[in-house]
Chains A and B, each alone.
Chain A
Amino acid sequence: MIGVYTVLLHGKNFQLFSTEGIIADQEKNLIIFTVLLGCTIVIPVIIMTFAIAWHYREGNTKAAYRPEWSGSLVAESIWWIIPTIIIGILAVVIYQSSHALDPFKELSSSTKPVRIQVVALEWRWLFIYPDEKVASINYVKFPVDTPVNFTITSDAPMNAFWIPQLSGQVYAMSGMSTQLHLAARTPGDYRGSSANISGLGFAGMNFTASAVSKDEFTTWTDLLRSGSKPLDKEVYKGLAQKTCDTTKYQFKLTDPNLYNEVINKYMDPNAALGTTGGNDASSEGSEPKNCMNKTIVSSVLEGEQ
């Protein structure tokens, strides 16, 4: 069995343990700490169970037999108290880590953070850089060793935004804005995952998170601002259509208020992008049944690379 797992796991990327971001590092340590804390209870309990069951087996007439023995204040006190102490330790850890690793908390750093707005669509991710005035689809870039402040919403069913090697996940919900703060320690491409079911295409709704040098980031945003198609309300409406297309796209942002307008679709009866009430069923029959073949590609972006 161990051999099978050795072969299976050889060279595998344990994304939760091969962390490259300061938040994920701490979350990894927390997981390891609780696992070890757990082992201090779990292993003795299992050993004790088998030792006791075997020692007092029916055939072992040498073992004591006291059928009326049914309680011991000392013994019972011990196992009310020991778990209480362990949970007490855990409670302190829970309280401190919940505050220290609150995804809404800004990272303290001398470097100026990069702001990125994230919109979960059906079924791809839109990243808007309000300061750099650019946008990208299904990939996100940010400078290494720099705090990144994500604000996250959805123009689709609820999803969860997750880059395991950099930080834990946060839900993306329509009409609201959640936050996630992280910083990458090492340059590289990291897997971004859509962790919550949001309909047919969610399994393929992955993205690449690239941590690059500051220069590379600036070059990239400059390139996008000069050389790519504009993203305005009309183009956005095309992007927000259902699609299984997972191609990467990039834009220059011409509507700096786009993120708020996406949220306002669900809040404001006179929203610029149109209002959605939530009961307006999309037409039946045209529903795709399968997203694995990536057959349904939105026409708006044909040829845009």
Chain B
Amino acid sequence: MSLHELVLGKLTWSAIPWGDLMTLGAGVSVVVIAIAVCIFITIKKRWKWLFTEWLGSLDPKKIGIMYIIIALIMLLRGFADALMIRAQQALSVGDMHGIVSTDTFQQVFSAHGSIMIFFVAMGLVFGLLNLIVPLQIGARDVAFPTLNSISFWLFAAGMGLINLSLLVGEFSPAGWLAYPPLSELQYSPGVGVDYWIWSLQIAGVGSLLSGINFIVTILTMRRKGMTLFKMPIFTWSALGSMSLVALAFPILTATLFMLSLDRMLGMHFFTSGAGGNPMMYINLIWAWGHPEVYILVLPAFGIFSEIVPVFSRKKLFGYTSMVWAIIAITLLSFTVWLHHFFTMGSGANVNAFFGIMTGVIAIPTGVKLFNWIFTMVRGRVKFTTPMLWFLGFVVLFTVGGFAGVILSVPAADFQLHNSLFLVAHFHTMIVAGVLFGFFAGLTYWFPKFAGFKLNEKLGTYAFLCWLFGFLTAFVPLYILGFLGATRRLDHYDSSLGWQGLFIVAGVGVLILGLGVIFQILQLIVSYLQRNQTRDLTGDPWDARTLEWATSSPPAHYNFASLEEVTTRDAFWETKQKGAPEPRYEDIVLPKNSYVGLFVAGFAFMAGFGFIWHIIWMIALGLLGVIVSVIVRSFADDTEYTIKAATVKKLEEARAARLEEYA
């Protein structure tokens, strides 16, 4: 082993993509933005504030906001990838070769999928859970606040690693699930697949820890009197989703670990030769991957189950059905994974079983849809932006869901698999299902954590752009599927006549981009007008669940006084009957901790070492993770107490503000 290998492993100057101006430009601009932000913070003298108020905070509300900020920034990155994919496919036909090389194009679509799922959708899920679940169950914190911070920072470290691939090395060209043998060393000798493995691995461990944390939180920390069947549906959906995280993510971790053993140590889990079996990988990755879809979409279902009753000023229709539907979906989501590869030749009975199970999982989903619709019946529906997102969701999700049922018929899937019909289907589910749901949820809960409402007008414009942009971008893909167009093509023959539709799809993405611009404007305008839209009551929508019973934004301790819950829609009931006299008590909360930053920093280091085969870095990183956790476990003074008298004073001040407002 040479000195260079000892110190830097495979890392050389040529790892920086000097020749590829597009990638280099993207990487450099990320660095420039980061430096600019650092300078800004230094000028404003906000470093201390940043660390004590945010980076070291164990307050789930702040951790939630940080998750959402990362997710939204990554949404922009993933969207930029989407623009490039659409531009390439609109322009790379016949003699024209588009805007990037094949290799770059393949990295771009792999990055698009990985980032959108792992760092956008997952980030939104964990962000909103952190913000809302403790409040909604009337708790003051999560079960394991330090672990929560570690989870977040591992997520951030994974995000850092995947973006580092822009500047140092390359990203995986093997698609967002990196099927072997293509992702094995034989066919992908570069570091791209390793970047994919380790950014997902590190973020995935964070997700798993977070999943366990929320299961324990929901099961043990609910307000007195809130039995499971009095729990708000969003919390139920979070419980389902997090159960899936706890059950499915270990599969992902093990699978990625085996793939990395193949690549690093020459093992043969998934190689095509020497006894390896790529089909095993495909089974394992989807045994995680299908539950993952429901990990993302269940919370979105939960969001709509909160929004529709509030804006219809009426109880949720069929609460018990809703709960059982969530439980059924949670269990069934583990019985359908093979529908992702009917074309592997598993045999008629196996295919039929998984096809039928896929149909079966549509039943509880359909029930939920009917219950939402009937929640509006005999209500007073107010068409606020969250409701617009809901209506858009119903239309697109029903159509996309049925496209999924078509794909669930194995013999039909033989013709539609790997086609753009499939791509259009799962984008309908993830964009119109998950993303629309989270946009609705973010609008709905925004005043809770920001203290003021979002601008409705710009929100409506953003929604319209997203709705029509989506239709313009994805209807052509459904049609292209019927024309026989497959996914991931960097180039195609002009004689096929696909270009027109690809151009329409490209226009659609531009409309979606306009939607994103409206959303950014919405944030800015809402911030500037915050004094007119400030939420002093803590309950701007006249809502029903406990998170609205406290101020906006809530105090560190969420609730001053923990009144017993007697019914569903606990806060609505309190408003009808009048709140009892508050009983103040001493409140114990966790102090700040930087252990999450250390664990994630060392994990990042280990990940980078694994990618570039830098052995000292791997050793130091892993050791650092372990030592950080051990050191933290010896810390005694981890909590602080707010005296009852102080709580009383704070709450009285809040009441005074409210009176002034009234």
Asked if B391 lies at the interface with its beta carbon under 8 angstroms from chain A, I say yes
Let me know if B634 is at the binding interface, CB within 8 A: no
The interface residues of chain A lying within 8 Å CB-to-CB of B347 are 102, 104
Contact with B along A177-209 (1 / 0, CB 8 A): 011000000000001011111111111101000
Given contacts A277-B271, A279-B186, contact A90 B359 (CB under 8 A): yes
Tell me whether B501 and A83 are in contact (CB under 8 A): no
Is there contact, CB below 8 Å, between A8 and B504? Answer: yes
Q: Could you tell me the distance in whole angstroms from the C-beta of B475 to the nearest C-beta in chain A?
A: 8
Establish whether residues B187 and A90, one from each chain, have CB atoms under 8 Å apart when the complex forms.
Answer: no
Complex contacts, B363 vs chain A, CB 8 Å: 80, 83-84, 87
Determine whether B181 belongs to the interface, using a CB cutoff of 8 Å to chain A: yes
- A113 CB contacts on chain B under 8 angstroms: none
CA distance A94 to B489 in the complex (A): 30
Across the interface, which residues of A come within 8 angstroms of B312, CB to CB?
56
Q: Are B410 and A175 in contact (CB under 8 A)?
A: no
When the two chains form their complex, are residues A83 and B367 in contact, meaning their CB atoms are under 8 A apart? yes
The residue from A16, A27, A156 contacting B411, defined by CB atoms under 8 A apart = A27
> For residue A175, which residues in chain B have a CB less than 8 angstroms away from its CB?
272-273
State whether B380 touches A158 (Cβ < 8 A): no
Q: Which residues A1-16 have CB closer than 8 A to chain B?
A: 4-5, 7-9, 11-16
A30 lies within 8 A of B411 (CB): yes
Note all chain A residues with C-beta closer than 8 A to B399.
Answer: 42
User: In the complex, which of the residues B92, B345, B379 contacts A103, with contact meaning CB atoms closer than 8 Å?
Assistant: B345
**Distance of B5 from chain A, by nearest CB (Å):** 15
Contact B402 A41 (CB under 8 A): yes
CB neighbours (8 Å) of A26 from chain B are 411
B405 at the interface (CB under 8 A from A): yes
Q: Are A8 and B417 in contact (CB under 8 A)?
A: no
Cβ contacts under 8 Å, B175 to chain A: 197
Query: Of A84, A99, A198, A200, which contacts B102 at CB under 8 A?
Result: A200
The complex places the Cα of A167 from the Cα of B413 at a distance, in Å, of 11
Most buried by B among A27, A70, A278, A292: A278
- A:142-200 near B, CB below 8 Å: 156-158, 160, 162, 164-165, 167-171, 173-175, 178-179, 191, 193-200
State in angstroms the CA–CA spacing of A198 and B174 once bound together.
8
Task: Decide if A94 touches B373 in the complex (CB within 8 Å).
Answer: no
Shortest distance from the beta carbon of A64 to any chain B beta carbon, whole Å: 5
Q: How far is the CB of B175 from chain A (nearest CB, A)?
A: 5
Identify which of residues 284-326 in chain B touch chain A, using a CB-to-CB cut-off of 8 Å.
Answer: 312-321
- B residues 214-273 near A (Cβ < 8 Å) are 262-263, 266-268, 271-273
Q: In the complex, which residues of chain A have a beta carbon less than 8 angstroms from the beta carbon of B381?
A: 53, 56-58
In angstroms, Cα B405 to Cα A186, docked, is 31
Query: In the bound complex, do residue B341 and residue A164 qualify as a contact, i.e. CB atoms below 8 Å apart?
Result: no
Instruction: Given the known inter-chain contacts A279-B186, A279-B266, A289-B102, please indicate yes or no for A87 contacting B411, CB distance below 8 A.
Output: no
Inter-chain contact B359/A46, CB cutoff 8 Å: no
Q: Which residues of A contact B359 (CB under 8 A)?
A: 87, 90-91, 94
Is residue B352 within 8 Å, beta carbon to beta carbon, of the partner chain?
yes
Contact A49 B373 (CB under 8 A): yes
Segment at the interface with A among B147-155, B476-484, B526-534, B585-593 = B476-484
Report the stretch among B135-143, B490-498, B512-520, B618-626 that lies at the interface.
Answer: B490-498
Asked if A281 and B376 sit within 8 Å, CB to CB, the answer is no
Most buried by A among B262, B266, B345: B345
For A49, the chain B residues whose CB sits under 8 A away are 373, 391, 394-395
Given A83-B362, A278-B184, the answer on whether A101 and B317 have CB atoms closer than 8 Å is: no
On whether the beta carbons of B273 and A278 are closer than 8 Å, the reply is: yes
Nearest CB of B to A23, in Å: 9
A169–B418 touching, CB < 8 Å: yes
**Chain A positions within 8 Å of B482 at CB level:** 14-17
- Asked if B343 is at the interface of the complex by the 8 Å CB criterion, the answer is yes
A270 at the A/B interface (Cβ < 8 Å)? no
A97 contacts which of B190, B314, B369, B409 (Cβ < 8 Å)? B409
Decide if B103 is an interface residue (CB 8 Å cutoff): yes
Separation of A265 and B266 alpha carbons in the complex (Å): 18
A199 touches B262 (CB 8 A): no
Enumerate chain A residues within 8 angstroms of B409, measured Cβ to Cβ: 30, 34, 90, 93-94, 97
Q: How large is the interface on A (under 10, 10 to 19, 20 to 34, 35 or more residues)?
A: 35 or more
> Please, what's the 1-or-0 string for A32-63, where 1 marks a CB less than 8 Å from any CB in chain B?
00110010011001101110110011100001
Determine, out of B75-83, B156-164, B274-282, the stretch whose residues face the partner at the interface: B274-282
- A66 lies within 8 A of B343 (CB): no
Q: Is the CB of A100 within 8 A of B369?
A: no
Known contacts A16-B415, A38-B406, A278-B276, A170 near B379 by CB under 8 Å = no
How long is the Cα–Cα vector from A41 to B363 in the complex, in angstroms? 12
Among B106, B267, B321, B492, the residue within 8 A (CB) of A200 is B106
Please measure, in the bound complex, the distance between the C-alpha atom of A279 and the C-alpha atom of B273, giving whole angstroms. 9
Q: Mark B385-427, 1 if CB is under 8 A from A, else 0.
A: 0010001001100110011011011111111111100000000
Q: Is the CB of B355 within 8 A of A94?
A: yes
Q: Max chain A CB contacts within 10 Å: which of B182, B184, B481?
A: B182
Across the interface, which residues of A come within 8 angstroms of B501, CB to CB? 8
Cβ of A236 within 8 Å of any chain B Cβ, yes or no, is: no
Chain A nearest CB from B399 CB (Å) reads 6
On whether the beta carbons of B186 and A281 are closer than 8 Å, the reply is yes
Please state if A95 and B356 are interface contacts (CB–CB under 8 Å): yes
Q: Out of A9, A195, A281, which one reaches B189, CB within 8 Å?
A: A281
Q: A15-B482, A56-B379, A70-B318 are in contact. List 13 more A-B contacts (CB 8 A).
A: A17-B482, A31-B415, A34-B412, A45-B373, A53-B376, A65-B314, A79-B370, A98-B411, A102-B347, A178-B345, A199-B182, A278-B276, A289-B101
Which B residues fall within an 8 A CB radius of A?
Answer: 92, 97-98, 101-104, 106, 173-175, 179, 181-182, 184-187, 189-190, 262-263, 266-268, 271-274, 276, 278-279, 312-321, 341, 343-345, 347-349, 351-352, 355-356, 359-360, 362-363, 366-367, 369-371, 373-374, 376-383, 387, 391, 394-395, 398-399, 402-403, 405-406, 408-419, 479, 481-484, 486-493, 496-497, 500-501, 504
Q: What are 12 A-B contacts defined by CB distance under 8 Å?
A: A45-B369, A58-B381, A63-B378, A71-B318, A75-B370, A94-B410, A99-B349, A173-B278, A203-B102, A203-B488, A279-B271, A291-B490
Listed in ascending order, the chain A residues whose CB lies under 8 Å from chain B are 4-5, 7-9, 11-17, 24, 26-28, 30-31, 34-35, 38, 41-42, 45-46, 48-50, 52-53, 56-58, 63-71, 75-76, 79-80, 83-84, 87, 90-91, 93-95, 97-105, 156-158, 160, 162, 164-165, 167-171, 173-175, 178-179, 191, 193-204, 206, 265-266, 275-282, 284, 287, 289-293
5 tightest A-B contacts by CB? Answer: A168-B414, A278-B271, A15-B484, A157-B182, A70-B315
